[in-house]
Amino acid sequence: MNAIILSAVLGVVMMFSSVFVKNKSALKHIAAAGLLVLLIANIADTYGCSLFKIDLHNMLRFDKFGLFFNTIGIGATLIYVVLSGRDIEKSGNYVAEYFALIFFVLCGLTLLTSFGNLLMLFIGIEILSIPLYILTGSDKRNLKSNEAAIKYFLMGSFSTGIMLMGIALIYGGTGSFQLEVVRSVFASYKGVSFLEIAGLLFLLVAMAFKVSAAPFHFWTPDVYDGAPSVFTSFMATVVKAAAFVAFIRLFDARVTETSAAVDWKMLFSILIISTLLIGNITAVFQQSVKRMLAYSSIAQAGFMLFALFSLNDMAKEGLLLYAAAYSLATIGIFAILIKMKDVSFEGYNGLAKTQPLLAATNTIFLLSLAGIPLTAGFFAKYYMLASVIKTGSYTWLVIFAVLFAAVSAYYYFRVIQAMYFKNGEAQTDTITPGFKAGMVIVAAIIVIVGILPQTILNWFYF
């Protein structure tokens, strides 16, 4: 509860800081401080210290899983603001509003991690999405940004419409919006109810759209490419992970395992296969690192879908770990990408000579995304694969995924090859020592989690 209320209030505070704070560069410090407060408040909430006591009528249900995820999401946003705050400043005239919108996104995120009612899911998704439509189009003078925004808005509202339809059908079938009631109905139903199955399928489509799983991924590359890079970084990481948490909350094991009318495992494996296939294969052919990262985010979504496929304890832990590892690495890569003058692969040529530290940290991030051991990304992938093998069937799916993990190495290593082994003079903006320090810290976190994942995993068991 702390995080929901505080993030909304802090968003309003950020809005007003545009009125009262005339010094633009102070805004990112205010935002960082606000995020820190939010982080601390959420951690306090996790350990039983809630500032607000409100009777929620089960509209929201707080559990450890959701609260941990809040911590990861808010922490990643804090790192994002610290690393890229200066670039958010440069991206337009309404700096304070951008920060305010980021806080509102976090408000949507915290709703999504704790919804106990389908209406709350809808509201959470909307609160999460609407600020993003604005952020996507924040580069007003750029046609691509405008195109991306309108595309994102139209497709996003369409998918929200499908989601509402699904919720309505489920309400028609079960007579309730409450997640608990819906679950118990699904778990107890003897015969097949067309309404509920259809409703759940609609919800599946809408959620697959939000996490950009193929074949509902078409908006992703255009939007990620068109949006200003700073905001792409945020959308591709924290927001996507939040949508995944909502997804796994909705598609609880009790919902999917008992409704035998639909082979959910098969459905999810089709989603996974097409997502991995499209994401990885198209990423191979990209010429721009930014667009490659957009497709790679689709491919990574394919791996995260494994959590929904297996729906066991390992899957839930793994999703948290994956969200953290993926978000950190991608935020780091984007932070460097924003500094680059040329975001094509050639633009990275020879970065190791001009900026050895950035190249080294970027390498760690890329290795983490590729899932090489000694980085957090390895354990993330490890958990996903293990969760499927633990179910004891569908081992072929794992082998398929592994093949595509090898394909993904191709495009991640292209960046490494450009930085280290190709000749060129990579141009960057001025790099401050603070930025370098931030990158080193993020890289260090990734390596430490990669060697001793226990540091994060210990949170899950206590």
Partner 1 sequence: MIPVLLILIPIVAGLVSFFLKNEKAAKGWSVIASLVTLAVSLAGVYEQNAAALHADAAWLPTLGSRFTLHLDGMAKMLTLLTGISMPLVVVSTIKNDYRNAGNFYGLLLWLQAGLMGVFVSADCLLFYFFWELALIPAYFLCSGWGGEKRIPVTFKFFVYTFLGSLLMLVGILFLYFKTPDHSFAIASFYKLNLTPAEQSFGFWLFFIAFAIKMPVFPFHTWQPDTYEQSPTAVTMLLSGVMVKMGLYGVIRWILPVFPAAVVRFDHIVIILCVIGILYASLIAIKQDDIKRLVAYSSIAHIGLMCAAIFSSQQVGMQGVMVQMFNHGVNVIGLWIVVDAIEQNQGTRKFSELGGLAQKAPGLAILFVIMAFANIALPLTNAFVGEFMMFNGLFRYNGWMAGIAGISIILAAVYTLGMVQKIFYGNTVAATENAVDSDFSVKLMLAILVVVIVVLGVYPQPMLQLTNDTVHSVLTKIHSF
Partner 2 sequence: MHITGLLLDAPQANTAANYLPIALQLLFALGFVATMMIVTHLLGPKRKTADKLATFTSGIETHGNARTPMAIKYFLVAILFVLFDVEVIFFYPYAVNFRALGWSGFYSVLMFVGFFIVGFFYIIKKGALVWED
Nearer to partner 2, 193 or 229 (CB): 193
Query: Distance between CA atoms of 399 and 276, rounded to whole angstroms?
Result: 12
Give φ, ψ of 112 to 5 degrees. Answer: -70, -30
**DSSP letter assigned to residue 81:** H
Among 5, 15, 150, 372, contact with partner 2 (rule: CB under 8 A): 15
Structure-block tokens of residue 379: 């354990």
Q: Does the footprint of partner 1 cover residue 461 (CB under 8 A)?
A: yes
Footprint (CB under 8 A) of partner 1, residues 420-439: 420-422
Q: Find the length of the chain.
A: 462
Query: Distance between CA atoms of 304 and 243, rounded to whole angstroms?
Result: 11
Structure-block tokens of residue 252: 């609880």
- Select the binding partner of residue 18 from partner 1, partner 2, none (C-beta < 5 to 8 A, by kind): partner 2
**DSSP letter assigned to residue 235:** I
Please give the C-alpha separations between residue 48 and each of 2, 45, 63, 115, in angstroms, as whole numbers: 11, 5, 11, 18
Smallest gap, in angstroms, from Cβ of residue 400 to partner 1? 10
Structure-block tokens of residue 95: 């700096």
Query: Distance between CA atoms of 314 and 248, rounded to whole angstroms?
Result: 13
Smallest gap, in angstroms, from Cβ of residue 138 to partner 1? 38
- Select the binding partner of residue 398 from partner 1, partner 2, none (C-beta < 5 to 8 A, by kind): partner 1
Which residues make beta-bridge pairs with 178?
Answer: 117
The footprint of partner 1 on this chain (CB under 8 A) covers a number of residues equal to: 29
- Select the binding partner of residue 261 from partner 1, partner 2, none (C-beta < 5 to 8 A, by kind): none
Q: Does the footprint of partner 2 cover residue 18 (CB under 8 A)?
A: yes
- Select the binding partner of residue 285 from partner 1, partner 2, none (C-beta < 5 to 8 A, by kind): none
Cβ–Cβ < 8 Å for 115, 62: no
Q: Which of 242, 394, 202 is nearest to 310 (CA)?
A: 394
Smallest gap, in angstroms, from Cβ of residue 96 to partner 2? 10
Nearer to partner 2, 8 or 416 (CB): 8
Please give the C-alpha separations between residue 416 and each of 352, 356, 365, in angstroms, as whole numbers: 9, 12, 10
Query: Which segment (249-257, 271-279, 342-350, 402-410) binds partner 1 by CB under 8 A?
Result: 402-410
Long-range contacts of 413-418 (CB under 8 A, 24+ apart): 413/366, 413/370, 414/292, 414/345, 415/289, 415/292, 415/345, 415/348, 415/362, 415/366, 416/362, 416/363, 416/366, 418/345, 418/346, 418/348, 418/349, 418/350, 418/351
Nearer to partner 1, 405 or 426 (CB): 405
Nearer to partner 1, 322 or 334 (CB): 322
Among 406, 427, 429, 432, contact with partner 1 (rule: CB under 8 A): 406
Footprint (CB under 8 A) of partner 2, residues 171-200: 194-195
Smallest gap, in angstroms, from Cβ of residue 111 to partner 1? 30
- Select the binding partner of residue 144 from partner 2, partner 1, none (C-beta < 5 to 8 A, by kind): none
Q: Does the footprint of partner 2 cover residue 19 (CB under 8 A)?
A: yes
Nearer to partner 2, 18 or 232 (CB): 18
Smallest gap, in angstroms, from Cβ of residue 175 to partner 2? 8
The H or E element that residue 275 is part of is: helix 264-284
Among 12, 26, 260, 452, contact with partner 2 (rule: CB under 8 A): 12
Nearer to partner 2, 54 or 270 (CB): 54
Provide the binding-site residues for partner 1, judged by CB under 8 A.
367, 372-374, 382, 385-386, 389-390, 392, 395, 398-399, 402-403, 405-406, 409-410, 413, 417, 420-422, 452-454, 457, 461
Residues within the interface to partner 2 (CB under 8 A) = 12, 15-16, 18-19, 194-195
